[in-house]
Chain A
Amino acid sequence: MKITRIEIKDFQQFKDFTLDLTYPAGHPKAGEPLDKVCFIGQSGTGKTTLLNVMKDFLDAFLNNQISTTTRDISGNILCKLDFIFKNVPYNVCATFDGGLYVNRYIVKVPQKIHYIYIPAHLGEKVYNTYIERKDASQKALLDIFSSTDEKNKQMKKQLDNRVCYDFTKDSFMILWATIVYDSKEEIYQQSKLRGLIGTAYLNNDKNALEKYTLEFENIKKNPKSPYKMLKKIIDPVIKNFKVELSDYIDLNNSEDLSFIKIQDFGGNIIPFNSWSTGTKQIILTASPMIKIDSKNTVIFFDEPESSLFPDVQRDLIDYYTGLAPESQFFFATHSPLIASQFEPWEIIELKFDEKTGKVYQEDYVKKGMERHVDNYRFYPKYMRWDSILTEIYDLDADGNEEREQALQELAQASADIKYYKAQGDTEKVANLMKTYKALANKLLWKINEND
């Protein structure tokens, strides 16, 4: 399921606003929906609003807030959304009447649409609910392991039916509950093997020791449980922060069940309140990816860069899209490093019209030219970070005012040197050279983009 177009008639800062979310001409996938999209723009231009509008549309399908009529409501339409599901194009429109009301008017709207909505600063939100210990889902999770089979079945059914995660309102603990529940069998198996290995060791039974160790290692190498999958996808990133997910969950230990555990390289458990914000960001945002049907899921992700150092940010988009390769991603970001990981046709830059205060999409295609892969004004993947700041983020300088001033002085010194050299004034030239070199050293000899 992938969205191909959004049209907003009049909603908040958007008026007669349309986004084409397909690949441009000249691309092997020309006309097909974009696999990933990046919204950038000044605060208040509506990046998060756009994520919400799309999410609310999908929510309306899933909650059956869909009109059974095909009446023409064009007079009241506020938004239109086109998408493709199993090669069938859909075109739906919506009015807002308190909540979102979606009116379908082509064919039956598919129900197997999934989405994940990850708000900005998810780590802090989860931390707050965890610390306050108010989370009902967390309690329910503990009940799974201490309750009757019938109750367990009901809980499992409830968890399995969940196809969408909206972390603006859903508890992260629900997700954690499903991960633990689905991992139970493998965890039991590993726990059992650990016991058998211990016994074999004590009995000096080399054959048994070898057999159980091999089985244990096989599970470790090829995990099938969501928890082990989680460890496999998260550890490579959080190793940058010198931590990793704990190897084991003890199903008899309520603390182990209550939340994900991480440890340092010495095996010391790090309590949740001591996790770095970057660690929280990676663990909490990557976790939902292992629970979804990648093919039918749209992922809305606000500020993926939150709390992450530049070296981690620069590979982040490949990381997330690699976790759900068939999903469609919508990112909203302020980070030039994130923006640098997109093709120009995948970036939607939102800007305020100074006169109307409304928002428009900055056109990246050269003036008067066709929307074709060869006709873009810039290609972020090929640009230096500072060029991304000046060209895409419209920063009016490549450094602070002090750098601009030093560059101006250096340029003047350069012209003066030429002039006095032509006049044969060697003393003047020598003095100017000192000035020139002093400035150039301060500028690290990075005088222009070519240096």
Chain B
Amino acid sequence: MKTINKSENRATAFQNALTQHLASHAQHPDYEAGSFRNRFYKDVFMALLYCQGGLCAYTEELICDVETLRGIDWQNGVYVGEVIPQGRDADIEHFDSTLKPAQGWDWDNLFAVGVAVNRKNKLAKGVHNFFKPDLPTYNPHDYLAYDFATHFFVVKPALKQNNPQQAEQVQAMINVLGLNYGTTKDRRKRYLLDKQADIQKGLKTYDSVRAEIYQFFTAFEMSKDDLK
């Protein structure tokens, strides 16, 4: 799960409306229902996907047609294009679910993720904030390693040796964020094996494949020796 830069929020109409709302209210508008949600859910969703390059924030699986993210379908901070991921493919997710009732529209706490991760795996489980993918200090290579035999993400062995307490927290986050979630793991494996075949059969070089991949970047980077 690579680092995400969310500094550009294209949903400016949403951001302005939220600022206005907070000028006179202590809490955010209702996240689950109501006119604010009806008006801005789509904008926030597409703005998040824009920042995430169409990938699930956690598993790095492509959940949105990249063409949709060209950035031209915005007018006055409102998304006016077609929403390609349907509600059954992807959701907006609250990294820290305890903030959802009072600060449900906090841009910093929101990510676009695949529905399986959100609805079946993560739910309202607790999180460790250092593993939040948009933090400037977050770097997956500090915490994770990739086992090419099982296609599981694991705790980086050096971290396990040097900081066992944080290593345990990383392991907990691997589980909470569904990095090895069954079907996602299988799709990641197929994607990497397809790339490995291209490289090992001499059809492409590692670098040319690296330039063309559009998902599962972290696993690809961490599997360099196995792919070659």
A interface residues, Cβ below 8 angstroms from B: 351, 353-355, 360, 367-368, 387, 390-391, 394-398, 404, 407-408, 410-412, 414-416, 418-420, 447-449
Which residue of B has the minimal Cβ distance to A448?
A: B150
* Docked pose: A354 CA to B145 CA in angstroms: 35
Q: Which residue of A has the minimal Cβ distance to B178?
A: A396
* Cα distance, A214 to B219, chains bound together (Å): 73
Residue from A360, A407, A408, A415 whose CB has the most chain B CB atoms within 10 Å: A415
Interface flag for B180 (CB, 8 Å): yes
**Inter-chain contact A414/B157, CB cutoff 8 Å:** no
Taken together as a complex, chains A and B put the C-alpha atoms of A410 and B183 apart, in Å, by 19
Binds A, one of B21-29, B98-106, B114-122, B131-139: B114-122
Contact partners of B149 in chain A: CB under 8 A: 411, 414, 447-448
Contacts A391-B186, A415-B157, A448-B149: A396 and B87 contacting too (C-beta < 8 A)? no
Q: Assuming the A-B contacts A353-B88, A391-B183, A407-B152, are A414 and B158 also in contact, with contact meaning beta carbons closer than 8 angstroms in the complex?
A: no
9 examples of A-B residue contacts, CB within 8 angstroms: A368-B65, A390-B183, A391-B183, A404-B182, A410-B150, A412-B147, A416-B160, A418-B157, A448-B149
Instruction: Choose one: B154, B160, B186; the contact of A408 (CB below 8 Å).
Output: B154
Complex Cα spacing A140 to B99, Å? 73
Q: Closest CB-CB distance, B160 to chain A, in whole Å?
A: 7
The one of B145, B151, B156, B183 that contacts A396, using a Cβ cutoff of 8 Å: B183
Q: How far is the CA of A397 from the CA of B87 in the complex (A)?
A: 23
Residues of A contacting B156 in the complex (Cβ-Cβ under 8 angstroms): 415
A396 touching B160, Cβ below 8 Å: no
B2 in the interface (beta carbon within 8 A): no
Partner of A419, one of B119, B150, B158, B174: B158
Distance, CA A101 to CA B192, complexed state (A): 55
B-side contacts of A398, CB under 8 Å: 182, 186
Chain A positions within 8 Å of B181 at CB level: 396
**Known interface pairs A354-B87, A415-B157, A420-B157; 18 further A-B residue pairs with C-beta atoms within 8 A, sorted by A's residue number:** A354-B88, A354-B115, A355-B87, A360-B88, A367-B65, A368-B65, A390-B183, A391-B183, A394-B183, A396-B182, A404-B182, A407-B150, A408-B180, A411-B150, A412-B160, A416-B160, A447-B149, A447-B150
Whether B56 is near chain A, meaning CB under 8 Å from some CB there, is no
A394-B65 Cα distance, complex, nearest whole Å: 22
Chain B residues bordering chain A, tally (CB within 8 A): 28
Establish whether residues B152 and A396, one from each chain, have CB atoms under 8 Å apart when the complex forms.
Answer: no
**Which residues of the other chain, A, contact B150 by a CB distance below 8 angstroms?**
407, 410-411, 414, 447-448
| Complex CA–CA separation, A395 to B87 (angstroms) | 20
Name the 9 nearest CB pairs between A and B, nearest first: A419-B157, A411-B152, A411-B147, A397-B182, A396-B182, A411-B150, A412-B154, A415-B145, A415-B154
Report the bound CA distance from A395 to B152 in whole Å. Answer: 17
- Complex interface: chain B residues within 8 A of A360 (CB): 88
Give 1 or 0 for each of B154-196: 1 = CB within 8 Å of chain A CB: 1111101100000000000010000011110010010000000
Nearest B-chain residue to A351, judged by Cβ: B88
Q: Which of A354, A411, A418 has the most CB of B within 10 A?
A: A411
Q: How far is the CA of A411 from the CA of B152 in the complex (A)?
A: 6
Question: CB-CB < 8 A to A447: which residues of B?
Answer: 149-150
Residue in B closest to A399 when the chains form the complex, CB atoms: B182
Shortest CB-to-CB span from A273 to chain B, Å, is 44
Q: Cα distance A391–B186 when bound, in Å?
A: 9
* Cα separation A404 to B178 with both chains bound (whole Å): 12
The residue on A at minimum CB distance from B184 is A396
| Contact present for B147 and A449 (CB under 8 Å) | no
- Would you call A448 and B180 a contact (CB within 8 A)? no
List B contacts of A411 (CB < 8 A).
147, 149-150, 152, 154, 180
Which partner residue on chain A sits nearest B115 by CB separation?
Answer: A354
Complex alpha-carbon distance, A410 and B149, angstroms: 10
CA distance A304 to B87 in the complex (A): 33
CB of B147 within 8 A of CB of A414, answer yes
Could you mark each residue 82-105 of chain B with 1 if its beta carbon is under 8 Å from any beta carbon of chain A, else 0? 000001100000000000000000
Query: Does the CB pair A416–B157 fall under 8 Å?
Result: yes
CB contacts (< 8 Å) of A412 on chain B: these are 147, 152, 154-155, 160
Looking at B88, B120, B150, B156, which has the most chain A CB atoms within 10 Å of its CB? Answer: B150
Given A354-B88, A367-B65, A411-B150, check contact A395 B182 (CB 8 Å).
Answer: yes
Once A396-B183, A411-B152, A419-B158 are accepted as A-B contacts, the answer to whether A353 and B147 lie under 8 Å apart by CB is no
Q: Closest residue of chain A to B190, judged by CB?
A: A449
Bound Cα distance A82, B88 (Å): 29
Note all chain B residues with C-beta closer than 8 A to A449: 186, 189
Bound Cα distance A395, B115 (Å):
14
A396 to B189, CA, bound (A): 15
Are B182 and A390 in contact, CB atoms less than 8 angstroms apart?
yes
Contacts of B174 in A (CB 8 A): 408
Q: Determine how close the nearest CB of chain B comes to the CB of A351; give it in whole angstroms.
A: 7
Bound-complex Cα distance A387 to B119 (A): 21
Contacts of B183 in A (CB 8 A): 390-391, 394, 396
Shortest CB distance B123–A (Å): 13
Residue of A353, A394, A407, A419 touching B87 (CB-CB under 8 A):
A353
CB contacts (< 8 Å) of A391 on chain B: these are: 183, 186
User: Complex: how many Å from CA A416 to CA B174?
Assistant: 17
A354 touches B119 (CB 8 A): yes
Of A360, A368, A395, A408, chain B has the most CB atoms within 10 Å of the CB of A408
B151, closest chain A residue (CB): A448
